[in-house]
Amino acid sequence: MALDAGGQQRTLKPMHLVWLAALSAVFALWMWGKNVMPWAFKVPRELRIPARTWIGNAMDWLVETATFGLFTFMELTRFISAAVDAPYRAVLSLLSTGFLKGQGSDAVQMLPPLSWVAVIAIVGLIGQYAGGRKLALLVTACFGFIAVFGQWNNAMITLASILIAVPLGTAGGLLLGIAAWRWPVVDAMLRPVLDLMQTVPVFAYLVPILVLFGFGPTAAIIATIIYAMPPMTRITTLALRGVVPEISDLGNMVGCTRRQMVWKVMVPSAMQSLMVGVNQVIMLSLNMVIIASMIGAGGLGYEVLTALRRLDIGTGVEAGFAIVALAVALDRLSQALARRASSHQHAEAASGGLLARHPYTVAAIAVVILTGLLGLALPALQSFPEALLLTTGDFWNEVVKWINVNYFDQLEAVKNALLLNVMIPFKRFLTGLPWAGVAGLLVLSGWSLGGWRLALLTGVLAYLIAVTGQWEKAMITVYLCGISVVLACLIGIPIGMYTASSKRLWTWVEAVIDTLQTLPSFVYLMPAVMLFRVGDFTAMLAIVAYAVSPVIRYTALGLQRVPESLIEAGRANGCTDWQLMTKIRVKLALPEIMLGINQTVMLALSMLVITALVGTRDLGQEVYIALTKADTGRGIVAGLAVAFIAIIADRLITAGAGRLRARFGLSQREASV
Amino acid sequence: MTANPARKATLSLRSVWKLFGEGAGAVLRDTGGNPPPDLLREHAIVAAVRDVSLDVHEGECFVIMGLSGSGKSTLVRCMSRLIEPTAGEIVFNGENLLSVSPQRLIEIRRHQMGMVFQHFALLPHLSVLANVAFPLEVQGVNRVEREKRAREMIELVGLGGREGFYPRELSGGQQQRVGIARSLAVEPGVWFLDEPFSALDPLIRREMQDEFMRLQAVLKKSIVFITHDFDEAIRVADRIAIMKDGAVVQIGSPEHIVMAPADDYVAEFTRNVSKSKVVRVSALMKPLPKRAPAGGYAGDIDAGARIADAAPLFLGASKPLRVTGADGKPIGRLEQSDVVKLMMQG
């Protein structure tokens, strides 16, 4: 970097000199400072903040002594548990267990659950209603796939959790969002909390929930609701603010009360944007319900988790496919429903009986009753006949075996070459750096990109990571995340550049990355583990696969948005295609590409924590261990450290992109994802 | 139809100010309600409405005309307290709007005010029928009654048969007809129209203006009509207030403004208006001579007609026209030379 500043024909600016000096100072400190200034390498004891103990004690206090006068905190959590548990039991009975009487092994089934035929038919009918025959076929196929491959019961358990979490998460987010829209104070209070909640890794949520609500599906649902609520809150506030002022003027002019204003004017007018939020809640809930299998959600996530623990590739892959099928079906269904809800069309007044007015409802009820009755006589209709079950588990095991027999050496060679020549040296380098020097450089970057406020923020966050004793693990996190992001960019940017030029190619690539982004993060672990077993390399592959989508998307969109007139001007001046790409398109698309990289960093960090399952040694592992030991202090401190890294990266990259944009004289453009 | 000062005012504004910026109210009070522009600039305060006083008479169409940024939209929103004025008095049917309770304000808005918006402000999730019935729904009128009333209004604006349609299925002109029907559903005492036709194509705009004038001829509402289009203003107005930088520059009938613009700013608007299409015969009329002129009259013309309608009657005969009043009796004469002089002014 120093060479770059001085070695080219550019004149040395004061800023370059500052950087040169700072880098030399850190370099000198790194080389010779170990004995002179040991505190710069290892945080001295007196500076340490025992945040872990504090949080642990606070948690103990909450659990043991906290009281609201009339009832204790624990009683409150028990009440919440019960309130979530009752509807969950009902839905679970309907979809999976049937309605039972009695406890444990004495239980007698009073009513069977909905048969697989009925569920598929209902889903198909919803698809038909929301998006026509094509959608109906797609979702029927997805659910059929789940039945045929023997994941039916697991999928229904997962679905039951989602069916409870989504309405509660949506309603909670909606109410909070409305409150933030109406009262600026609430908005000001919520904003930093939401920022933090969206950067804290998911595992970190799970630890306090586990302590407060125990182990089981109820706790998992509560975690899911908390996880899925922030985006809905944010989207609600934005959507209400986005309603044109004339509409609220109208509400006032016809004399709406406050309540009428919110529920009759604002919320319906913002429906289209709100439905985007609902889709997000559904997809996030699915992701979280899978992850929350760690605290007892059961279902498909548990299947993947146990398969990972046993390294049973076949079962894991099958459950993974079932998750993908469920994700695709839910995503397409909710998107189609959203479109339908906001495209109002007049209908010829339907006359006639119940059937003519509510054809879908009548058909669904008919199917339920018919299959219920027939299921008594024909068990195959009630639960999918085992004789017809297909399993690909053995097939996948065979595939893995075959790959390992035939290509083991090649795969190992690639893995070892990367590990030994790139990953491990980089890791050593980062962990060897003095924390004071790194923090100083971060402050300097903050100052030069965004002024003293940003410098202060990055400085304080870096300092907090160090004094809570997380520095080394944080550096390992940065190393794994950094390498993955670089690899994702090396793959993603060329793909983005290549597809940007062709409209047809882009529609295909977009469909693929859209689907990739709907898949729960767990799913990405399976193929990587299949080929490379556990370790940093596997983790890196999973992270790259999960995080590559945004950089492709933003690169392509950024390139496509370069004004045609500039390209023509370049052509008129005799640029070759290569010059057009490098000198005009990429330069102008750079701010957009940086935003893509930013998103990739965020996704990489969130995936990183999940890769703790395949044996990494970073903050993610710390959170994971805390989860298994139900150690709230440890989990939250490590989780916050990940969040701080994310916030530092996010603010620095955003500020950098903003400066580039200002330099090119481009206006603030809306992010496209 | 010049304004008759004795007519009852439905809505009166007295020294209304709207200042945007921190400490605006204090600055206004400290200067005794008349802050000099320099002081406002110093405090980074924007005066959107400056010291506006005007009366909207019962049954008249009062047009507020001004370019964008002149404060006309803010002013009309002050009149219904959608925007809270910084100072002044707004008297509506004898009641000072600025001192009524929130509950009373809701009552007044529900029953006595109607508003039409530039971009229609139709609720996307409601059908035409439900949109028009919406103000009544908010009041708690039962479904049968409000839908009956809504159907009448939809008939009135010529959208019969489209009750079940949704806003996005209608053209801009049709959407604004829905907006008009909705604003009339509560039989308002004052009818605000905020640039109602500005978002429409020129041809449709013309058609809607005609439709609006037809409605007004029947309904005789007290109207506050906002526009930035001077031609539209002189077409529909009984009186016009011209605004510049938040202040009213001139108030008067279209003829008055065209014939005697208060300053260069107003004159700039009137320059391209063909005066013969604005000025009425009565304005150029001379008294009837004691004796009928030697050659008699070229014909009769109504005192309320525009000069442009009178001009063709002079063709082929250099005789004056006899002007008749509303009752058909002769009240004056119109000389060809006066008409020619006016028309040569443009």
Band (A347; pLDDT cuts 50, 70, 90):
low
**B87 forms bridges with which residues in the sheet?**
B17
Q: Where are the domains of chain B?
A: 59-78+100-274, 281-344
> In this structure, how many other beta carbons lie within 10 angstroms of the beta carbon of residue B54?
19
- Residue ranges and CATH numbers for the domains of chain A are 2-99 (no CATH), 393-673 (1.10.3720.10)
Q: Which residue of A has its CA nearest to B127?
A: A346
Band (A239; pLDDT cuts 50, 70, 90):
very high
d(CA A236, CA A659): 30
Give the residue among A227, A228, A209 at the shortest CA–CA distance from A219. A209
Q: Which residue of B has its CA nearest to A243?
A: B121
Which residue from B109, B120, B134 is facing A252, i.e. has the nearest CB? B109
pLDDT in tens, B10-44: 999 999 999 888 878 888 888 777 788 888 888 88
Which residue from A255, A260, A271 is facing B109, i.e. has the nearest CB? A255
Band (B192; pLDDT cuts 50, 70, 90):
very high
CB A532 within 8 A of CB A411: yes
Q: Residue A616 is encoded by which pair of tokens?
A: 């990494």
Give the residue among A461, A471, A476, A478 at the shortest CA–CA distance from A434. A471
Q: Which residues of A touch B (CB under 8 A)?
A: 244, 246-247, 249-250, 252-257, 260, 264-265, 268-269, 271, 342-347, 349
- The SS3 of residue B11 is strand
- CA angle centred on B199, ends B196 and B201, rounded to 5°: 115
Model pLDDT, residue A11: 59
Q: Is the confidence at residue A246, as pLDDT, over 70?
A: yes
Mean pLDDT of B288-299: 78
CA A185 to chain centre: 28
CB A354 within 8 A of CB A172: no
Which residue from B120, B125, B138 is facing A271, i.e. has the nearest CB? B125
Q: Do B124 and A344 touch (CB under 8 A)?
A: yes
Chain A residues inside the 8 Å CB shell of B166: 344-346
Q: The complex's ipTM?
A: 0.85
Give the residue among A501, A522, A499, A520 at the shortest CA–CA distance from A511. A499
Band (A668; pLDDT cuts 50, 70, 90):
very low
Which residue from B121, B135, B138 is facing A246, i.e. has the nearest CB? B121
Q: Residue A4 is encoded by which pair of tokens?
A: 């770059």
What is the residue-wise DSSP string for A28-52?
HHHHHHHHH-GGGTS--GGG---HH
Instruction: Tell me the nearest-neighbour CA distance from A243 into chain B, angstroms.
Output: 10
Chain B residues inside the 8 Å CB shell of A243: none
d(CA A479, CA A464): 19
Chain A residues inside the 8 Å CB shell of B80: 252-253
pLDDT in tens, A147-166: 888 888 899 999 999 999 99
pLDDT in tens, A261-280: 999 999 999 988 898 889 88
Model pLDDT, residue A669: 43
Q: Is the confidence at residue A181, as pLDDT, over 90?
A: yes
Which residue from A244, A254, A268 is facing B125, i.e. has the nearest CB? A268
CB A235 within 8 A of CB A177: yes
CATH T-level fold of B281-344: CBS-domain (3.10.580)
Model pLDDT, residue A3: 42
Band (A367; pLDDT cuts 50, 70, 90):
confident
**CATH ID of B59-78+100-274, from 1.10.8.870, 3.40.630.30, 3.40.50.300, 3.30.70.270:** 3.40.50.300
Q: pLDDT higher for A70 or A127?
A: A127
Q: Which amino acid is at A9?
A: Q
d(CA B140, CA B145): 10
d(CA B335, CA B339): 7
Q: Do A246 and B119 touch (CB under 8 A)?
A: yes
Instruction: Tell me the nearest-neighbour CA distance from B303 into chain A, angstroms.
Output: 40
The answer for residues whose C-beta is within 8 angstroms of residue A513's C-beta and 6 or more apart is A548, A549, A552, A553
Q: How much of chain B, in percent, has pLDDT values that exceed 70?
A: 98
Instruction: Tell me the nearest-neighbour CA distance from A239 into chain B, angstroms.
Output: 15
pLDDT in tens, B144-158: 999 999 999 999 999
Model pLDDT, residue B193: 95
Band (A666; pLDDT cuts 50, 70, 90):
low
Chosen for mutation from A244, A249, A254, A348 (greatest number of chain B CBs closer than 10 Å) is A254
Q: Do B169 and A345 touch (CB under 8 A)?
A: yes
Chains A and B form CB pairs within 8 A to the count of 77
Instruction: Tell me the nearest-neighbour CA distance from B184 into chain A, angstroms.
Output: 11
For chain A, the straight-line distance linking the first and the last C-alpha, in angstroms and rounded, comes to 32
**B180 forms bridges with which residues in the sheet?**
none
Cα–Cα distance list, A298 to A78, B168, B257 (Å): 21, 46, 80
d(CA B213, CA B205): 12
Chosen for mutation from A271, A274, A344 (greatest number of chain B CBs closer than 10 Å) is A344
Q: Do B164 and A264 touch (CB under 8 A)?
A: no
